[in-house]
């Protein structure tokens, strides 16, 4: 078992003995882990290793069968997703989940409403207070679109954007909740090399704003370039944890991913493809 002490004494997220069972399948088998504030923490592992299940447990989409998950010092393993979001955790999904008929700007405004008193649908009543709040939400949503580089697309229908831009829009919507912790589930899936590079830059700018990022991703170039620390999951258990250079050279990780016959030649990068 890999147990990792946080560098910081005040981790943003702590997992203690987290198990997740689906009938006869045990997707997570006793995860102990801590994520320090302010880092980009990646979670990698072969298909079926339990990465998405772990994100779902952290964000309240699933409740773990056993174990404790603390976010900002508070146990959240039994909380519903909206309450966890209100505490300052936000996420994107592996498959884009936007409102395709709404504009790009409106999609971000929906994210922002997590933080407001009136709520998205109540705005339809249009009292003066709500109108003021709505105008402020619009300004903040525009600022986030600007931040991710989608300001020019603000009034387009979200469903009309190419996939790469829809994925960035999902990130803008997640950021609009003002998260302390942002979970990204395979954000590079379906992106081309240039878009993936831009995504990497965006993740670094998000981190520079003080937001902790947990990244689940198969694109190893992206993972290696943005992560401060990487957790490798294998059959529902942590196999290794460390800085990118340590993970690249970890024989157990190489074996888990590639098998002995794919061991790299001396001096060549190990993880430079998609798994």
Residues that bind ligand ATP (CB under 6 A): 22, 25, 27, 45, 47-53
Considering the complex, what minimum distance in angstroms separates the CB of residue 220 from ligand ATP?
Answer: 13
Considering the complex, what minimum distance in angstroms separates the CB of residue 54 from ligand ATP?
Answer: 7
Instruction: Between 141 and 216, name the residue whose CB sits nearer to ligand ATP.
Output: 216
C-beta of residue 58 within 8 angstroms of C-beta of residue 183: yes
Phi-psi region of 178 (alpha: psi -120 to 50; beta: other; left: phi over 0): left
Q: What pairing do the DSSP bridges indicate for beta strands 25-35 and 237-242?
A: unpaired
Instruction: Between 11 and 45, name the residue whose CB sits nearer to ligand ATP.
Output: 45
C-beta of residue 236 within 8 angstroms of C-beta of residue 249: no
Instruction: Between 61 and 122, name the residue whose CB sits nearer to ligand ATP.
Output: 61
Instruction: Between 31 and 76, name the residue whose CB sits nearer to ligand ATP.
Output: 31
For residue 2, CA distances in Å to 79, 126, 187 come to 27, 53, 26
Considering the complex, what minimum distance in angstroms separates the CB of residue 211 from ligand ATP?
Answer: 23
Q: Is 218 exposed, middle or buried (0-12, 13-18, 19+ CB in 10 A)?
A: middle
Considering the complex, what minimum distance in angstroms separates the CB of residue 156 from ligand ATP?
Answer: 30
Residue corresponding to tokens 């010092």: 73
Considering the complex, what minimum distance in angstroms separates the CB of residue 106 from ligand ATP?
Answer: 29
CA nearest neighbour of 169 among 180, 219, 191, 181: 191
């Amino acid at each position: 078992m890999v147990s990792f002490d946080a560098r910081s004494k005040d981790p943003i997220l702590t997992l203690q003995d987290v198990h997740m069972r689906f009938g006869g399948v045990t997707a997570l088998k006793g995860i102990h882990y801590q994520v320090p504030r302010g880092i980009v923490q990646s979670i990698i592992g072969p298909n079926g290793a339990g990465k998405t299940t772990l994100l779902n447990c952290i964000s309240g989409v699933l409740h773990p069968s056993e174990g404790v998950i603390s976010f900002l010092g508070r146990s959240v393993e039994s909380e519903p997703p909206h309450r966890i979001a209100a505490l300052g955790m936000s996420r994107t999904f592996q498959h884009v989940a936007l409102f395709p008929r709404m504009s790009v700007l409106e999609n971000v405004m929906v994210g922002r409403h997590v933080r407001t008193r009136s709520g998205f649908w109540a705005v339809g009543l249009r009292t003066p207070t709500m109108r003021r709040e709505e105008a402020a939400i619009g300004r903040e949503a525009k600022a986030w679109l600007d931040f991710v580089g989608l300001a020019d697309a603000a009034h387009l229908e979200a469903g009309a954007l190419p996939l790469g831009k829809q994925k960035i829009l999902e990130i803008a919507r997640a950021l609009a909740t003002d998260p302390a912790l942002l979970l990204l589930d395979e954000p590079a899936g379906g992106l081309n090399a240039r878009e993936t590079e831009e995504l990497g830059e965006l993740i670094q700018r998000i981190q520079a704003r003080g937001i902790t990022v947990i990244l689940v991703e198969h694109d190893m170039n992206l993972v290696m370039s943005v992560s401060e620390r990487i957790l490798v999951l294998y059959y529902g258990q942590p196999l290794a944890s460390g800085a990118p250079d340590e993970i690249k050279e970890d024989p157990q990780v190489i074996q888990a991913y590639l098998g002995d016959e794919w061991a790299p030649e001396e001096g060549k990068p190990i993880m430079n493809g998609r798994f």
